[in-house]
Chain A
Amino acid sequence: MTHWFAIIMGAALFTLMIPVIYRIWVGPTSFDRILGVNVIGTKTAVLLVVIGTLFDRVEMFVDFAISYALLNFVGAIVISRYLNRTISLKDMEAREKEGARKR
């Protein structure tokens, strides 16, 4: 029963990743793409636990899942810092005002 549950769960996870991959493929801005990669990374950590259940070595695969979640987080932070255009404080305050006016 445990094995069948793990197999069905893994297949469903894979199926639900397809819309996310579509978002990575067409995503209008680069931020959409990073978002999709981030979601898939988090779900891969879950998928690693599923695989561990299948092989009866959960205690080993949980370590992989922890390090994968860590790498995913660091990757998201690094890419968002890289795409972050450094602008002066004055420009940023002007933009904040603009955003407040627009709402």
Chain B
Amino acid sequence: MMSWLTSFQCLASAPTETVGTEGGFLVLQVIGVLLGVMGLLFFLGAAVGLLRFPDFYTRMHAAGKGDTLSTMLMLAGFGLVTMEDLSLGSWLLLIKIMAVVLFVYLTSPTSSHALMRAAFEDDELPLTEDDLRNSKRGKRRKKR
């Protein structure tokens, strides 16, 4: 209980701290904030696609890739925002954050390929253009 309270105190006392008031690092922070907002925008695209698209394969397109790009943008933004000085420690921190990005870049296509292959070897056949044109959206929703 007490630990929760102290963590909220940390949140409450946050804005009184002054970090990065020097000019050079303010530019870095603004770039970081911009990158983070762009990442959120792409994640919004992925989430909306996950809701709207008609079948599993197209949903996979929306989720699998909007995910990688938005993760990259957000983590890069946070790496720039937390960079308070140019010492060796903060460079190592940036490299570590970029290591997460590299890891996601390597593994996300592999896992989406594995899922896709599993779905294809199961009975799911992808929807085609004609299926999409023939069935109105409402009808398909009723069928489910």
Q: Which of the residues A1, A3, A80 comes within 8 Å of B114, measured between beta carbons?
A: A80
Main secondary structure of the interface of B (DSSP, over half): helix
B144 x A53 contact (CB < 8 A): no
CA distance A19 to B47 in the complex (A): 6
CA distance A3 to B122 in the complex (A): 47
CB distance from B92 to the nearest CB of A (A): 8
CB closest chain-A residue, reference B113: A80
CB distance from A102 to the nearest CB of B (A): 6
CB distance from B89 to the nearest CB of A (A): 8
A29 x B103 contact (CB < 8 A): no
CB closest chain-B residue, reference A34: B115
CB distance from A86 to the nearest CB of B (A): 8
Interface hub of A7, A20, A98 (most chain B Cβ within 10 A): A20
A16 x B40 contact (CB < 8 A): yes
B96 x A59 contact (CB < 8 A): yes
Taking beta carbons and an 8 Å cutoff, which residues of B are in contact with A? 7, 10-11, 14-15, 17, 19-20, 29, 32-33, 36, 40, 43-44, 46-48, 50-51, 56, 59-60, 63-64, 67-68, 71, 74-75, 78, 81-82, 89, 92-93, 96-97, 99-100, 103-104, 107-108, 110-112, 114-115, 117-122, 124-126, 128, 144
